[in-house]
Chain A
Amino acid sequence: MIEVKDLQKSFAVKETFFSAFTSLLKKKEKRIRAVNGISFSIHAGEIMGVAGESGCGKTTTAMLLLGLYRPSGGKVLFEGMDISSLKGTELRYFRRKAQLIFQDPYESLNPRFTVYRTIEEPLIVNRLRRKSERREKIMKAMEKAKLMPLEAFCDKYPHELSGGERQRVCIARAIVLEPVLLIADEATSMLDVSIRAGILEIIKELTEEMKMATLYISHDMSLLGSICDKIGIMYAGEIVEIGRSEDIIQSPLHPYTRALIEAVPVPEFRRAKLKLKAIAGEPPDLVNLPRGCSFRLRCERAIKACRTSRPKLFEVKQGHFVACHQVGD
């Protein structure tokens, strides 16, 4: 299980000579606030989806969870340990147990490694010396990722594989160390539609079978709705709504969640075309976030309170949280 508490990450803005001078005058350092105090937890065997527009901090969150970025505030608890305090053996253990599947299976495999060698790499890095033991683990991982028949795949190179097969190699590589946390960052968006469901199925099955906590990042709400147990909606570095998938998709409360759902084109075929609802505008500048609710500039229902105070997440019904002044009270 993984728990995230008030996690924050900001990056220093590269300053030009002139902007450095002005910010010196203002005595305020410019920082991009990519992730702005988010909290959630993912249990073993559960898939949590994170949705939001590009630039909302989804990938930064993934990097923080993997310990690849050091948080600017808050913490990530992995099996009860704060990952930024880990050292030595504990850190190596964490690195083994937290794995990532990338978006692009064409870019994330070494073209000169065979499938077998690719999946063996994490084992070698983690000093599993006995060859027979490695072989056994590799075979098991390949089986789980449905790279069958095993013999046919072992000696193949990435260029001999299709996109779906490559992504299954990436999955096998990620699970060969039996991770506790698995992060999939848009893992099917580069794949052809006819094979996407197969990859999603593997991720879902493995999450349950291996009792992993899985974080699935995507901006495709229909995809998240079909595989996730719960979904968190991010906007400008914050979670604005989080809850069980059905609640989020069937009864969204935050105006932004609604906008995301209404913008999804539906494969329903009719003569008279309906117009999609697309909210205007763009996400706010992460350096100068607006005061109050960060969504208020694009929100049709913004009231005075939205301008002055930042709404906090509160529980509307069991397990369904939303941060909006207009909901509830």
Chain B
Amino acid sequence: MQAAIENENEMLLQVDDLKVDYQMEGAVGRAVDGVSFALRKGECIGLVGESGSGKSTIAKAILKLLPSNGALAGGRVILKGRDISHFTEEEMDAIRWAEISLVPQSAMNALNPVQRISSQMVETFLAHQAKADSRKTLLDKCQQLFEMVGLSRNRIFDYPHQFSGGMRQRATIAMAIALEPSVVIADEPTTALDVIMQAQIINLLKSLSEDKGVSIILITHDISIVAQICQRVGVMYAGRLVESGDILKVFNNPFHPYTMGLKAAFPTIKELKKTLISIPGSPPLLTKRLEGCCFSDRCPFSIEQCQRVIPHTVTIREDHYVACHRIEYAERFRKEIIDIFGTRVRGQS
């Protein structure tokens, strides 16, 4: 996606050739392998992929919150023109929450169970801003945030256990936007919620990006959520970005067989008889050194070259980038993949 960076000013966050390694019982596993993307102001970008594809690791690497066995092995993270990938802990402290905030995966565990939500939120302000504001003003600010995310003002004095899952997720979102950061990273924000709560949270994130101009990196495995919120998308597989760009271009005309597969694997309520596909096999082990394309083991269209040579990311057209050796056959593959992997699951005849 590097080619998309024409206007530097517009770019809020650039991730450039990011590599992350994990130490795993003697071996080194590369969880993120040369991922590049850029986030524009007010834009919402989705990172989709299966579990273990490195989506969450990217979030942690951006915020420098990698676990102790993980380390940045290369690449840069540029926030508003500054490379933050070499920042110290103190320098990062100033950036986290104030510039980039995180809505964590499980809201259940993200809140301190023995503190009232009010004091947890006020703490966020106190940790960053001059302590000049009185507690009362801060509390009032927090209550405004609560209203913004659709919670009632007086519930702020509750403990987390008094909230339902959806309410907790709202509270973490309120905290994430408290210091008006320019980037919010939402890591699987709806995974633990049921459909109705999920719809409420999706609408909330959408209004944050549309009305408040917050830029969002949305990490999810669900392309239908991406379809609801994002303008651009990056499809990840085994630590690599296999396809990325404008959401309409990527999903309406996918060029990477994995993107085609992902799209065809989703049931849709609009079309019960849609033939769903299932791609046999599983992603390669992190510790395996990949000679060729990361998807070649599962790809039905893989040829000898795919096993041997890592495909470069090429530009298909404006804002559409793919890493595949066989892009010229994409149109044929789109049809064939359904015949090859289609299952019998398809509503009632």
Give the residues from 215 to 236 in chain B that come closer than 8 angstroms, CB to CB, to chain A.
221-225, 227-229
Count of inter-chain pairs, beta carbons less than 8 A: 156
| Min CB gap A148→B, angstroms | 11
Give the residues from 274 to 333 in chain B that come closer than 8 angstroms, CB to CB, to chain A.
274, 276-280, 282
| Min CB gap B11→A, angstroms | 21
- Interface residue? B262 (CB, 8 A): yes
Q: How distant is the Cα of A225 from the Cα of B348 in the complex, in angstroms?
A: 9
User: B268's contact among A164, A266, A280, by CB below 8 Å, is which?
Assistant: A266
- What are the residues of chain B within 8 A of A223 when measuring CB–CB? 267
| Min CB gap A153→B, angstroms | 14
Q: Kindly name the residue among B50, B223, B269, B276 whose own CB sees the greatest number of chain A CB atoms within 10 A.
A: B269
- What are the residues of chain B within 8 A of A219 when measuring CB–CB? 194-195
Q: Kindly name the residue among A201, A265, A277, A282 whose own CB sees the greatest number of chain B CB atoms within 10 A.
A: A265
Q: Is the CB of A265 within 8 A of B248?
A: no
- Interface residue? A68 (CB, 8 A): no
A270, closest chain B residue (CB): B248
Q: Is the CB of B227 within 8 A of A265?
A: yes
- Interface residue? A128 (CB, 8 A): no
- Interface residue? A226 (CB, 8 A): yes
Give the residues from 250 to 282 in chain A that come closer than 8 angstroms, CB to CB, to chain B.
250, 259-271, 273-280, 282
Q: How distant is the Cα of A225 from the Cα of B227 in the complex, in angstroms?
A: 20
User: B50's contact among A53, A165, A194, by CB below 8 Å, is which?
Assistant: A194
- What are the residues of chain A within 8 A of B121 when measuring CB–CB? none
A256, closest chain B residue (CB): B196
At the interface with chain A, which of B19-27, B75-83, B176-184, B197-205?
B197-205
Q: Is the CB of B224 within 8 A of A162?
A: no
User: A266's contact among B229, B269, B276, B346, by CB below 8 Å, is which?
Assistant: B269
A204, closest chain B residue (CB): B345
Q: Is the CB of A269 within 8 A of B279?
A: no
Q: Is the CB of B202 within 8 A of A194?
A: no
CB-defined A-B contacts under 8 Å, sample of 30:
A53-B196, A163-B282, A164-B282, A192-B50, A193-B223, A194-B50, A194-B258, A194-B262, A194-B278, A194-B279, A196-B265, A196-B278, A200-B345, A201-B345, A219-B194, A220-B267, A226-B345, A244-B348, A260-B196, A263-B198, A263-B199, A264-B195, A266-B227, A266-B269, A267-B227, A267-B263, A271-B248, A274-B228, A276-B203, A278-B203
Across the A-B interface, the 3 shortest Cβ-Cβ residue pairs: A198-B278, A278-B199, A162-B282
